[in-house]
Structure 1
């Protein structure tokens, strides 16, 4: 794909992201076998000859590949000529952070890349936001998986998971949705089981996701024991209280420490060799843009073909922009053109 065509596709894609039409188009649904079962998967095929195959990996959201924002992304990629394969990752969509996430991504990439009707060349590219962007980078550090990938685009990825958790716990002004997901996953290491408390945390996550102002939480909260309510309120409102428990998590060591180590991209980055685009919102209130800056510096230092775009045009979960920020559009378009030129499958 020449530079002019890549720019044209990038412009079309960027404009497509502004669509309000989140209806599901005519797609093909398939099952992807993984070691723990099957992934329900949506396949979007372009009307003309495919330019390449892009696997989109959803973030920590209950609707996953059927999240309205993600459907718009998938449709925009389809409209510019790419085959889009979008699995529903059960564990990720249930807010579970584990090494299984990475294995599920690996299994799905291997399967998709071997399906001639979906990926004739045997290679795919990855488009993945947020936490899943970092998981995708870790998956691609495996040589067997990397051989199946042309390029990766991450949006809002982190470098070191410890820093992100500590930052979200310590700063009350940052995103509550992300903070509650991390508490759901790591607080049990500190306090053990508490069904009522963790149900409250999960319901708070849903309220944040659907912007429903305690609609899910309120009925359960009213039935909670006073001690659990107090504990929950402190988790929500007291950074020092959260940090105290985070310090307990860090001191536990063993498998917990191994998990945090395995989930940090910086511990795998030396094995990354393929082209990588890192896009990050300057005002991201979940993962600071400095995380992508750190990753980019490391990639450049080891000679990886990579590009960084830090922009005010996007937040952590959205891609909308307005006329006041159009001056930044060329930078974003140039960045997407880098990805599309690499995602173009010349072997077809």
Structure 2
């Protein structure tokens, strides 16, 4: 794909993301066999010869690949000529952060790249927002997986998971949705099991996501023990209380420490050798933009073909790009043209 064609595809892509048509089109549904069972996936097949295959990895959201914004993303990638395979990662959609997330992404890539009807070249590209962007970078650091990849595009990825958790716990003004997800996953390392408390945290996350008129949280909260209610309120409003527990978590060793280390992209940086596009919102209130800047600097220092775009046109891990600030649009066009050229399977 020449540069002009790549620019045109980028323009079409950004315009397509302005759509408000969130209806799921007629897609081909397939089952992906993974080591932990099976995942369902939606396949968007282009009407003409495919330019290449892009696997989209959903973020930490219960609707996953059928989140309205993600449907628009998948349809837009498909309309500009790519085959899009979008699995529903059930663990990620259930807000569970673990090493299984990485295994599921790896297994999905291996299976999809083996399907000649979906991926004739045997190689795919990855498009992943937020937390899943970092998971995807870790997954493709595996040499076996890297051999099946053309390129990777992440939006709002983090470099070091310790820094992100500490930052979200310490700053009350940052995104509560992201903070609660991290508390749900990592607070057990400090306090152990407490079913009532963790149910309250999960219901608060779901209410935040779905914006329910009759929320799920209040009925459960009203039945909680006073000690658990007080604990929840402290988690929500007291940064010093959260940081006390974060300090306890950081002192953990063994498997707990290994999990945090394994989830940091910086610990896998020396095994990343693929073309990578890092997109980040300048005012991201979950993962600071300097996380992508840090990754870019380290990758470029190693000679990796990597492009960085920090923009005012998106929020955290967003797949919808507002084009209101026209001065920044050329930078986005150039950035996505890099990804689309690398994702192209044509000769």
TM-score by length of 2: 0.98
Aligned match of 2:322: 321
Say whether 1:26 aligns with 2:29.
no
In 2, Cα distance between the equivalents of 1:344 and 1:252? 45
Q: In the TM superposition, what are the counterparts of 1:132-281 in structure 2 within 5 Å?
A: 132-212=132-212, 215-281=215-281
Give the Å deviation of 1:322: 4.6
Q: Deviations over 1:32-55 (max 9, x none)?
A: 000000001000001111000000
Give the Å deviation of 1:346: 2.5
The 8 Å contact of residues 54 and 124 in structure 1, kept in 2 or not, is answered as yes
Give the Å deviation of 1:216: 1.5
Give the Å deviation of 1:211: 2.6
Aligned match of 1:299: 299
Structure 2 counterpart SS, 1:122: coil
Structure 2 counterpart SS, 1:46: coil
The 8 Å contact of residues 204 and 214 in structure 1, kept in 2 or not, is answered as no
In 2, Cα distance between the equivalents of 1:294 and 1:109? 26
The 8 Å contact of residues 155 and 279 in structure 1, kept in 2 or not, is answered as yes
In 2, Cα distance between the equivalents of 1:68 and 1:48? 25
TM-score by length of 1: 0.98
In 2, Cα distance between the equivalents of 1:144 and 1:103? 12
Unaligned runs of 5+ in 2: none
Unaligned runs of 5+ in 1: none
In 1, Cα distance between the equivalents of 2:315 and 2:45? 28
Give the Å deviation of 1:210: 1.5
Say whether 1:311 aligns with 2:311.
yes
Structure 1 counterpart SS, 2:29: strand
Give the Å deviation of 1:214: 7.5
In 1, Cα distance between the equivalents of 2:218 and 2:258? 36
In 1, Cα distance between the equivalents of 2:346 and 2:323? 35
In 2, Cα distance between the equivalents of 1:228 and 1:115? 50
The 8 Å contact of residues 161 and 260 in structure 2, kept in 1 or not, is answered as yes
Count of paired positions? 346
In 1, Cα distance between the equivalents of 2:215 and 2:172? 22
Q: Deviations over 1:62-85 (max 9, x none)?
A: 000000000000000000000000
The 8 Å contact of residues 207 and 214 in structure 1, kept in 2 or not, is answered as no
